Amino acid sequence: MRPVQIQILSRIMMPLLILQFLLGMFANLFVSFSTSTDPNPLAAVFTAGSPALMLHVVVAVVLFILALLVLVAAAFIHRRSLVIIASAGFASSALAFFSGIAFVYTEYANNTLSYLMAVGFLFGLIIYGNLAGLGVRGSNLEREAGPSNIALSRPLGLTLLQLIAGGIVIFGGIALIGFNPGIVNTALGAITLVLGLVAFLSAYAIWKNKTWSIMTARLVNIAIVLFSTSQETYTIATATTANTVAGSLGGTVVALGLCIGVVLNLPSGNQTGFR
């Protein structure tokens, strides 16, 4: 990615952040939160919650993934200031996201978590508003970084991203098989485990600059995104403990962001390698 892509991602985030604020205020003022004793309150949001609250959760997931993509993109540009800003933005998004999840699990009663959501939102709005206005600065950053430097950083950076994403996916597969007994979870865990192992193979291919590395990376990461989204939906709907959902959702959104980041940073066109 180049600075212009960071600008585009940040501009996408700005209206989503505004929408998230409006949804949050609407839910706070007009929605009666469920007092159900369901051991999986996050699933209750989608089964018994209001449409505004459901959309609020979905937008939160999208914003978290976009923030991770901005951070990944910044890491490929050799500008410390840009990486620091993107890291601060991701930290703000993570604060808001995980505080929101925890707020749901406290049955909407912990005002400190609600306050932390607002803090994360506010800093995120400021940071991504700044990145959205890169403009001429983006062109200057691109000239200073140089396309050759970005290209040289790709194999190592993408290898690490792919290894981390694959590791999270493998751990998720093991967790599904080991901690969630049942035929369906075993089947889902086995597929997840295979996808994680293929992601490791993809990381090796990227590092070694194999001719099939780019195509393999595209296919396996797209497969992980599609399958993990479906698997996570099923897990949220059927889990019987809060810890299962919280841990699974956190790992899945990070893995999704990393996989999408790998795909977006692969060489375009019909290239078969990084050289």
- Domain boundaries, given as residue ranges, for the chain: 1-145, 152-275
Which residue numbers in the chain have pLDDT < 70? 1-2, 34-39, 135-154, 180, 239-246, 269-275
Contact 107, 35 (CB under 8 A): yes
pLDDT of res. 154 = 64
pLDDT of res. 209 = 87
**At a CB cut-off of 8 Å and minimum separation 6, what does 172 contact?**
189, 192, 196, 228, 248, 251, 252, 255
- Cα 242 to chain center, whole Å? 20
Contact 213, 274 (CB under 8 A): yes
DSSP letter, residue 2: -
- Report the 10 Å Cβ neighbour count for 5: 17
pLDDT of res. 155 = 81
Closest CA to 15 of 129, 135, 134, 94: 129
Alpha carbon distance 203, 216 (integer Å) = 9
pLDDT of res. 244 = 62
User: In a 10 Å sphere around its CB, with 0-12 CB exposed, 13-18 middle and 19+ buried, how is residue 56 labelled?
Assistant: buried
pLDDT of res. 32 = 78
Closest CA to 5 of 92, 72, 78: 72
- Pinpoint the alpha helices (H) of 31-78: 41-48, 51-75
Alpha carbon distance 20, 115 (integer Å) = 15
Chain position carrying tokens 């089947």: 187
Q: Structure pTM? A: 0.85
Phi, psi for residue 76 in degrees, rounded to 5: -90, 0
Alpha carbon distance 50, 27 (integer Å) = 8
pLDDT of res. 98 = 93
pLDDT of res. 34 = 64
Contact 159, 203 (CB under 8 A): yes
pLDDT of res. 89 = 96
